[in-house]
Amino acid sequence: KGQRPLAAEQIGEGNIPHLKNLQSDYDHLAEQLDRRGVDAAAVLKKVSGFTVAIPSWGTGRGGTRFAKFPIAGEPTNIHEKLQDCAVIQQLCAITPRVSPHFPWDKVSDYVALREEADDLGLGFDAVNSNTFQDQPGQAHTYANGSLSSTDAGARALAVEHNIECIEIGRQIGSRDLTVWVGDGTNFPGQQDLGKQLDRYLDSAAQIYSALPDGWRMLLEHKMFEPAFYSTVISDWGSSILAAQELGPKAKCLVDLGHHAPNVNIEQIVARLHRFGKLGGFHFNDSKYGDDDLDSGSINPHQLFLVFNELIEAELEPRNGFDPAYMIDQSHNVTDPIESILSSAEAIAQCYTKALLVDRGALHEAQRTNDTMMAFQVLRRAYSVDVGPIIAMARVNAGGAYDPIGAYRQSEWRLRKAQERRSVGLGAGIV
Ligand code: PSV
Ligand code: MN
Ligand code: MN
């Protein structure tokens, strides 16, 4: 059904020379795992069901606050972004949903947009609202904040925009609204920190009350930027307090790049789950701040430890376990399709390694306070090269053995460079 951007036969043919080696690598790994009491087929099955959403904005070269360096053939609207997402999904087969951002992805007919995505083999994930920049002709500025602004008009506009995002989401088949606001201050004394949070909570409650049944509101915290002295929802503490105040449909979303350096994010994950408030993730990596680098490019071990907590959470669901997994990255130095393929692979790797952890041995070591053995259990899983399992899952699902190699061979970007409007200097996607 539908028209896929790449020829499926070409992907299949490209895999043929690798199939024999893949099978032998997989069999070898399965035998090794079997010796440890791990059933590779069961892991393969779990991995085959794993998915992560693509951010629509990640298909463009986001750039930095200093400059954008767009590449020829970059998508210029949601239709072209969906095509690029479909290419990614065809090649890696674990990214079947797109997380859109409004008004960046605004169109006049969302029912048609949903059909367009469906034809490309895609669905939609969480809808992201944007009250961190003014739109042309906007009646009230967000210069002094949005949901927490002192200006009632700006607050009302921000609430209205979020409710509109819910309505769009309903039409395109989403069930989550992700709310990140840049609201905060740059100077001590600029605002009353308590009252600013009161205003945020009041506005957020209005959005919350517009959530349809089965919907969730995901509150995304971030330590700083664009506000550099204080941020209204700066950390997981503020996030969970706000989510608890709002009600059961409000959950917390953890963007891996939104914490102070060295913060123990896996512990945050465990905490949020403990209180039934773990709503979702924005996967990326960072070295200094909200760098939005490719997942696993800086600290893959941290990503593994996060997934280790997620598997623990899944095994002990308490009040449920249903986090929305999304990538959130966008930068300036690679072809975004290649970067998302690379991130999807890194995320799948860490998930797979976490599945390999011998839970029985880990829990026993924890019970007996055998610290070294507990650590060794994690290390043993982390050091396995799980590539053959992931490649097997991908190839079985019709994806490419070597996604980036197949992408280059398809010359997709080159072809789009001839067809798509040039984004030119400074006209990149925000
Ligand atoms: C903010 O830094 C953020 O992580 C939020 O998820 C935004 O929606 C996204 O980046 C895009 O700017
Ligand atoms: Mn994010
Ligand atoms: Mn961010």
3-state secondary structure 42-99: HHHHHHHCCCCEEEHHHHCCCCCCCCCCCCCCCCCCHHHHHHHHHHHHHHHCCCCEEE
Quote the pLDDT of residue 422.
83
Handedness of CA 272, 275, 277, 278 (dihedral sign): positive
Q: Cα-atom radius of gyration of the chain, to the nearest Å?
A: 22
Distance between CA atoms of residues 271 and 256, nearest Å: 15
Has residue 131 been placed in a domain?
Answer: yes
Residues with Cβ < 8 Å from 376, sequence gap 6 or more? none
The single residue listed with the structure tokens 């309903």 is 170
Instruction: Answer yes or no: are the C-beta atoms of 126 and 99 closer than 8 Å.
Output: yes
Has residue 18 been placed in a domain?
Answer: yes
Has residue 425 been placed in a domain?
Answer: no
- Residue nearest (by alpha carbon) to ligand 1 atom 2: 290
Distance between CA atoms of residues 293 and 300, nearest Å: 12
User: Which CATH number fits the domain that encloses residue 97?
Assistant: 3.20.20.150
Number of domains the chain is built from: 1
Has residue 429 been placed in a domain?
Answer: no
Instruction: Answer yes or no: are the C-beta atoms of 293 and 286 closer than 8 Å.
Output: yes
Of the candidates 172, 87, 45, 135, the residue with the CA atom closest to the CA atom of residue 409: 87
Distance between CA atoms of residues 368 and 384, nearest Å: 26
Q: Establish whether residue 259 lines the binding site of ligand 1, counting it when its CB lies within 6 angstroms of any ligand atom.
A: no
End-to-end CA distance of the chain: 33
Residues with Cβ < 8 Å from 288, sequence gap 6 or more? 261
Give the Å distances, CA to CA, from 410 to 3, 75, 141: 16, 17, 45
pLDDT tens profile 73-115: 999 999 999 999 999 999 999 999 999 999 999 999 999 999 9
**Which of helix, strand or coil describes residue 117?**
helix
Residues with Cβ < 8 Å from 54, sequence gap 6 or more? 85, 88, 89, 95, 97, 98, 99, 326, 327, 340
Quote the pLDDT of residue 430.
35
Residues with Cβ < 8 Å from 423, sequence gap 6 or more? 60, 70, 74, 76, 429
- Which residue type is seen at 204? A
413-419 long-range CB contacts below 8 Å, 24 or more apart? 413/71, 413/72, 413/73, 413/335, 413/337, 414/73, 415/73, 416/73, 416/74, 416/75, 416/80, 417/71, 417/72, 417/73, 418/73, 419/73
Has residue 427 been placed in a domain?
Answer: no
* 192 CB neighbour count, 10 Å cutoff: 12
Quote the pLDDT of residue 62.
82
Q: Establish whether residue 222 lines the binding site of ligand 1, counting it when its CB lies within 6 angstroms of any ligand atom.
A: yes
Q: Relative to the alpha carbon of 178, which ligand is closest? A: 1
Residue 225 Cα to ligand 3 middle (Å)? 9
Residue 54 Cα to ligand 2 middle (Å)? 12
Residue 180 Cα to ligand 1 middle (Å)? 7
Has residue 424 been placed in a domain?
Answer: no
The single residue listed with the structure tokens 């969970």 is 240
Q: Using the CB atoms, write b or e for 336-365: b if 16+ within 10 Å.
A: bbbbbbbbbbbbbbbbbbbbbbbeebbeeb
Q: Establish whether residue 84 lines the binding site of ligand 1, counting it when its CB lies within 6 angstroms of any ligand atom.
A: no
Quote the pLDDT of residue 425.
52
Has residue 253 been placed in a domain?
Answer: yes
Cis peptide before 188 (omega within 30 of 0): no
Provide the residue-wise pLDDT of the chain in tens; the chain has 430 residues.
688 999 999 999 999 999 999 999 999 999 999 999 999 999 999 999 999 999 999 999 887 778 889 999 999 999 999 999 999 999 999 999 999 999 999 999 999 999 999 999 999 999 999 999 999 999 999 999 999 999 999 999 999 999 999 999 999 999 999 999 999 999 999 999 999 999 999 999 999 999 999 999 999 999 999 999 999 999 999 999 999 999 999 999 999 999 999 999 999 999 999 999 999 999 999 999 999 999 999 999 999 999 999 999 999 999 899 999 999 998 789 999 999 999 999 999 999 999 999 999 999 999 999 999 999 999 999 999 999 999 999 999 999 999 999 999 999 999 999 999 887 654 443 3
Residue 290 Cα to ligand 2 middle (Å)? 9
Distance between CA atoms of residues 281 and 408, nearest Å: 29
Distance between CA atoms of residues 403 and 86, nearest Å: 13
Atom number, ligand 1, closest to the C-alpha of residue 330:
11
- Residue nearest (by alpha carbon) to ligand 1 atom 10: 328
Q: Relative to the alpha carbon of 231, which ligand is closest? A: 1
Q: Establish whether residue 220 lines the binding site of ligand 1, counting it when its CB lies within 6 angstroms of any ligand atom.
A: yes
Cis peptide before 226 (omega within 30 of 0): yes
Quote the pLDDT of residue 427.
44
- Which structure tokens are listed for 7? 């020829």
Distance between CA atoms of residues 394 and 403, nearest Å: 9
Atom number, ligand 1, closest to the C-alpha of residue 225:
2
Has residue 379 been placed in a domain?
Answer: yes
Give the Å distances, CA to CA, from 265 to 63, 304, 312, 418: 26, 11, 15, 43
Instruction: Answer yes or no: are the C-beta atoms of 295 and 349 closer than 8 Å.
Output: no
Residue 12 is part of which domain span? 8-419
- Which structure tokens are listed for 127? 């809808």
* 421 CB neighbour count, 10 Å cutoff: 11
Q: Establish whether residue 290 lines the binding site of ligand 1, counting it when its CB lies within 6 angstroms of any ligand atom.
A: yes
